[in-house]
Amino acid sequence: MAKITYIEAISMALREEMRRDSSVFCLGEDIGVYGGAFKVTKGFLEEFGSDRVLDTPIAESAIIGAATGAAIMGMRPVAEMQFADFISCGFNQLVNNAAKMHYRTGMKVPMVVRLPTGGGVHGGPFHSQNTEAWFFHTPGLKIVAPATPYDAKGLLKAAIRDDNPVLYYEHKFLYRRPEIKEEVPENDYVVEIGKGKIFREGKNAVIITYASMVHACNKAAENLAKEGFEVEVLDLRSLMPFDKELILNSVRKCNKVMIVHEATKTGGIGGEISAFINEEAFESLDAPIVRVASIDTPVPFSPPLEEFFMPNEKKITEALIKLAEF
């Protein structure tokens, strides 16, 4: 096994699935000749040809609509949005067509939409949003958000093989971070959709999080460990469905809960998880559930303002100290 980056793991998964299954193909803007905006599909056109690596017009509604049609006809399309923000242009095709097709007709819709997401890269308000809550409210869609190279590969392979529409949120900030490189098996494996994992063991409090915030939360947990307060970090990995059993086990063990996500706070996924915990494990709580998230504004372009806007190690550490003292 070689240590690889998060983006290399995504490319590896996609290449392996295209080699394994001839019904898998890619479509999106500049993914062929140019190799993708972030170079995930570099070399794919030469290996798989223009029938399976399709450069599309700048029309997200057409990309998602074509993917939906191909999926119901037995293909397994992987559609790339250059940035997750742009999926709004194809919103109707996704939430009113793809998401409801199986419920309406019984037909399978095995398609994946790859969504480069998130801030921390100074992309401004139209290239940095975390849009998962838009679709978390839409029955018929599955949503995954890997935090590590191992999970990035395994979740993409699982998403491609799934018979439902899957939104695959890949965080841009993690793409080439050398500190999160890890050994990823070159053999075939999948990470089951709907299953989270304990990223860090603890006993005094649990942070429930996902994507890039897993690493910020882990650093904050390290800070508290120096003071003897052991924080568990739970990586959801899958947002819809999310791992209810794993969450309840950690809550009942740790008794204090923090939920951290990079998306803005109001209406975020953290509110639903908090409500779930209150309904199912209220008697296990020794303190109110705490949420740490981005503030309710568009994502600033200015680097200092973006840093002020987003959660980070310092903010999470400060919130953990207050939770520990409660």
CA distance 225 to 176: 28
DSSP reduced 3-state for 106: coil
Contact 113, 64 (CB under 8 A): yes
Non-local CB neighbours of 318 within 8 Å, separated by 6+ positions: none
310, two tokens? 């987003």
DSSP state of 96: I
Enumerate the β-bridge partners of residue 258.
207, 290
Contact 186, 16 (CB under 8 A): no
CA distance 300 to 303: 8
Torsion sign (Cα): 210, 213, 219, 225: negative
CA distance 80 to 8: 16
Contact 8, 144 (CB under 8 A): no
35, two tokens? 């190799």
CA distance 129 to 260: 16
Candidate list 127, 171, 215, 261, residue with the active-site label: 127
> Is 127 assigned a catalytic role?
yes
Segments of 58-111 assigned E as strands: 76-80
CA distance 116 to 128: 9
| Cβ neighbour number for residue 303 with a 10 Å cutoff | 11
DSSP reduced 3-state for 268: coil
**Active-site residue numbers?**
127
